[in-house]
Structure 1
Amino acid sequence: MPPKLTFDATEFGPSVGSILQIFQRTYNAWTNDTSQLAFSILGTSVAAVSLFKLVRHLWGYVRPSKLQIYCHSETGSWALVTGASDGIGRGFVDELLSNGFNVLLHGRNQSKLEGIVKELAQKHPKRTVNYVIADASSNDSPELAVLEKVKSLPGKLTILVNNVGGINTKPTFVELSNIGAQSIDTQLNMNIRFPTQLTAALIPALQKNQPSLIMNCGSGAGVIGVPYITTYSGTKGYIHSFTLALKAEMVAEGYAPDKRSSKGVEVKGYIIGNTQSGGNKTDVPFFTISSAQCARGCLRQVGNGKTLETPHWRQEMIEWIASVTPEKTMRDSMAQQMRDRKEQEAKEL
C-alpha cells in the first residue's frame, strides 16, 4: 500500500493550506486498504464485463448462421434480391443459391439479367433462378410489378433483401445546391420510396410464409454524414431508422422470431462500409471488402438477435474509431478527404 501523505498544510497559508488539506484527505482515503480493495474489485469487474462484451461481439462474426431456418418450404423457398445484377446484390444472389434458396433477381436491364440467369442456372443446376424488371428510380409504382412476379413464383417467398440503392449523379461528388430537383427525387425514389413500398407490399406474404427474413442494406454514410453525397447519406440514415421501426412493429404485432416454434419475421439492417463493386472502385486500404465478403458477412449474422450491425469486423473498426474521435476532428478529416475525392474525380472526367 502507498505511504500516507503527511505534511503541515498550515505552513502554506490559509488559502493554499485548505486546498492541500482536502487533497491530503482525499489521497489518504483513496490509498487505504479498503479503498484499494474496492477499486481493485471495480477495475476487475469493468475489465471482465468489457472482455465478455468483446468476446460476444466477435462471436457474432464467426458463429454459425441461422439462415437455414428460412429454407423450409416443400415447394421451394425463394429469396428476392433487389439491385441484383452486380455488386453487393450479385453477392447476395450467389450466397443464397449456395445455401439452397431459389432466387428472384430484380433489376432494370433485361438483357443483362437474362445473361446472369443463364450463367447461374449452369452454376446452380439444382436451384431455380428468375428475374423481374422494375425501375426503382421511377415514381409509377414499380413495386407492383415485383409483387405480381412474387405471386407467380412456384414456391414461397421467405427472404427479402432490400439492396437496391446508390448515387445517381454525374459527377458523383456534388454540392447539394448544385443537384437538380429531378435528380434528388430520382435518388429518393430509388433509395427510400421503392424499398419502403416494396416491403409494405410483401409483408403480408412474408408473415404468411413465416419464418421469414427482411434484410435492409444501409451504409456507414448514413451514420456519420458525408459531404458531397448529402442526399445519399440522408437516405441511408432513413434505412437504418426504418429497419429499427419495422422490427419493433413486427414484435408489437406478434411476429417476433421465436426459436422454439421457428416462427416470426426477422428484420435486420446492415451498416455497410466501403465495398468494391462495379459502381465503386474506391479502395480504402484494409477497410475495403469485396461484394462477396459483404454478402457472406451479412448472411452469417442472421438469427443473432441484433438489428443493426456491420457485415465485417474491419468495417466495424471504422465506426468505433468515429465514435471515439472528437466530432470536430472527424468532420475536418472527412471534409478534407471528400474534397480530395471531389477534385480527383473532376480531373478524371
Structure 2
Amino acid sequence: MERGNQSGISEFILLGLSDQPEQQRLLFFLFFLMYLITGLGNMLIILAIRTCSCLHTPMYFFLSNLSLGDICFTSTTIPKMLANHVAGNKTIPYAGCLTQIFFFIFFGAIESILLTVMAYDRYVAICVPLHYSMIMTPKVCVVLIVISWFGGFVTSLIHTVLLTRLSFCGHTEIPHFFCDLSPLLKLACSDTFINDLMVNTVGVLTVNIPFIVILISYTRIFVTVLKIPSTAGKWKAFSTCGSHLTVVSLFYGTIIGVYFSPTSTHTAQQDTATAVMYTVVTPMLNPFIYSLRNKDIKRALKMLFTRKPGLPL
C-alpha cells in the first residue's frame, strides 16, 4: 500500500474526540465500556442462536451474522483509539490508516446488505408465508450471506485501491477518532474526482439501493398486515419487524446523514458525533434491541445461563 503514497507521508494524526485531558480519560473509559458491552452482547446472541435448536431458522441465522459483523465493525476503530490513549500517541501509520479504512468499509457494507437480507426474510415470512420454507432454503440463506460478505469486500477494495493513488501534502491531521474515508479525502492534495465519484456510485449500490429495497419490503409488509382481520394477529406480525426497523433507522439514518448530505450543512464535529452513533452506539444497542422484546432470544439466553454443562438446549 505504501508505494501508492506519492507524497511520502508515513503517518497521520488522529485528533480524536477531545483535546482536554479530563474529557479524554472519561471518553476512554466510556468507549472501553461500550466496546466490552458490544462484544459481550453480540457474542451472547451468537452463542444463544448456535446452541439453541429452536433458533436454527433463517431469521436468526442472519441475526448471528449481523452480530458477528457488529463485533468486527467496532473492532476496526475502538481498539486503536484506546491503544493510542494508553500510549499517549495520536498517530497511525499510512498503511495502518488504509487498512483501517478497508475493514471499516468492509464490515459497514456487510451490515448494510445484511439488513436488506433480513428485511427480505421478513417480507417472505409475512407476505408469502406458505412459500417461506421453499424460498428461504438453507442453500439460499448461505448464498445471501456470501453475497453480503463478497459485496463488502469488493466495495472496500475499490475505495482502498483508489486511495493509494492520492498524494497527501503537509496536512496529516484527521479530525476524527479513526481513519474515515470522507476526512481523508479532504486532506489529499491531488485530484479526488474519481474517489468522490466512486463514493457516490458505490454508495448507491451499498446504501441507497438496500435502503430502498428495505422501504419497499416494509411497505408491502405494512399493506399485508393491515389485511389481517384480528388485532392480535396484526400486533404479532408488527412485533417481529419492530426490532429490525429500529436498527435500520439507527444505522441508515446516521450513514445517510454523514455521507450523503451536503457537506455545507454539517461540521466536522457533527460528523464525528454522528459517526460515534453508527460505529459504537448502534452495534452496542443491537443485541438489546433484538433480545429485549424477543421471547425466543430471551428464553435461549436464560437456558444458556442455567443449563448444566454437557446438556443440549
TM-score of Structure 1 vs Structure 2, range by shorter chain: under 0.3
- Structure with higher Rg: it is 1
Query: Which is bigger in relative contact order (C-alpha 8 A, separation at least 6)?
Result: 2
Normalised TM-score (structure 1): 0.24
Q: Which has the higher strand share?
A: 1
Q: TM-score if structure 2 supplies the norm length?
A: 0.26
